[in-house]
Amino acid sequence: MDIKNIKKEFPIFKQKINGKPLVYLDSANSSQKPKMVIDKISNFYETEFSNVGRSVHTLAVKATNRFEATRDKVQKYLNAKHREEIIFTKGATEAINLVASSYGKKYINKGDEILITELEHHSNYVPWDFLRTEKGAVIKFAQVNEDGDVEIEEIKKLITSKTKIIAITHISNVTGAVLPISNIVDLAKGKNIPVLIDGTQGAPHSAIDMQKIGCDFYAISCHKMYGPNGLGVLYMKKKWVDDLPPYQGGGGMINEVKKEGITFADAYTKFEAGTMQTAEVVAFAESLNFIEGLGIRKIASHENEVLQYGLEKLKKNNSVNIIGDPKERGSVLCFTLKDIHPHDIATILDDDGVAIRAGHHCCQILHDKLGIPATARASIGVYNDKEDIDKLSEAIQKCQKVFQN
């Protein structure tokens, strides 16, 4: 894989930051966009724009066809059985809120239990807290072990007859732990418990096959998959598409509206209220073309090679404390630096054009468990290489010198 040529596909790398070449190590936050995605958005607005599913004029029909063609492409990419199982949302956050609201409204009552983990991003905790507040549900947290993993046995021991749903991350955005999601799903199936997977960190870095995973819900954030902002995908198994009530009301999700009452549209349409993100959906097809053109397994292999190089490089610096040592790690490298606050680390690294994230990464529960308020995080995308890691290491050493003086 020739990374230098791949980097050329991303216009943002043509610029310099503070006079230095950009080293972007913040893909777990949001990935950069290849030119084919940017061009598709621009071209769509210039030549093809119309709202979808409303009008019958030429532009509207063409836009609707492109929109639905993307749904078909996502179905194929995820190996979903039915196109109706693909629902477009404003992001993974809305996707999880949709499930919490629709499933929770119908199936979760006072005393019922929702099982999540201490690794969860706030997006996979706060929506369930709403149910805890509104309905008196109970949230149970599977604990993280000292390596930053959540073991299958920890999940198993927390399941009771009151467990109504298991909601877990695919890959931690802090420890990088890859959870045994297929094993968890198999365990849950045996007890007739639905499983939601927060795939925001999983989908950009690994092959996702809904038939193999077998989960009920899988939430994707498109802007982390080299795609547009403001767009997410929710995979929802067809039995739930048919069964669950709508999440929001508005245009496009209705069948018939009368003064006496309303009937809702069938299938996925009932979950896509209002004007959808047409250009973003159309452009996301190009994001998938980009990923498929390289091959997701080749991407994963390349990123793992860079990650392992990064772990080895940073471990040589005795002042660097790497967060977590999971059995299998995704493309995330969180760390602290002795006596230097992560925000200061990120600020000084930015002077060298090295972009990382600092903070609790929307994972305060986990940081509380670790006993630290914040971490610095370098996260890897397809455009990163070992040279980027070298520059990260050099910038960290410069940061140390600044605070020694």
Q: Which residues contact 65 (CB under 8 A, 6 or more apart)?
A: none
Q: Which residue has the tokens 């997410």?
A: 232
Q: How many CA atoms within 13 Å lie on the side-chain side of 79? A: 10
Is the distance from CB of 333 to CB of 379 less than 8 angstroms?
A: yes
List 215, 222, 334, 362, catalytic entry: 362
Are β-strands 138-142 and 113-117 bridged in parallel, bridged antiparallel, or unpaired? parallel
From CA 148, how far away is CA 325, in angstroms rounded? 6
Is the distance from CB of 170 to CB of 127 less than 8 angstroms?
A: no
From CA 316, how far away is CA 143, in angstroms rounded? 30
From CA 10, how far away is CA 34, in angstroms rounded? 4
From CA 89, how far away is CA 304, in angstroms rounded? 30
The reply to whether 334 belongs to the active site is no
- Cα 100–Cα 101–Cα 102 angle in degrees, nearest 5: 100
Is the distance from CB of 318 to CB of 141 less than 8 angstroms?
A: no
Is the distance from CB of 72 to CB of 325 less than 8 angstroms?
A: no
* Element containing residue 76 per DSSP (H, E): helix 58-78
Task: Give the pair of three-digit tokens for residue 306.
Answer: 């860079």
From CA 228, how far away is CA 391, in angstroms rounded? 28
Which residues are tagged catalytic? 362
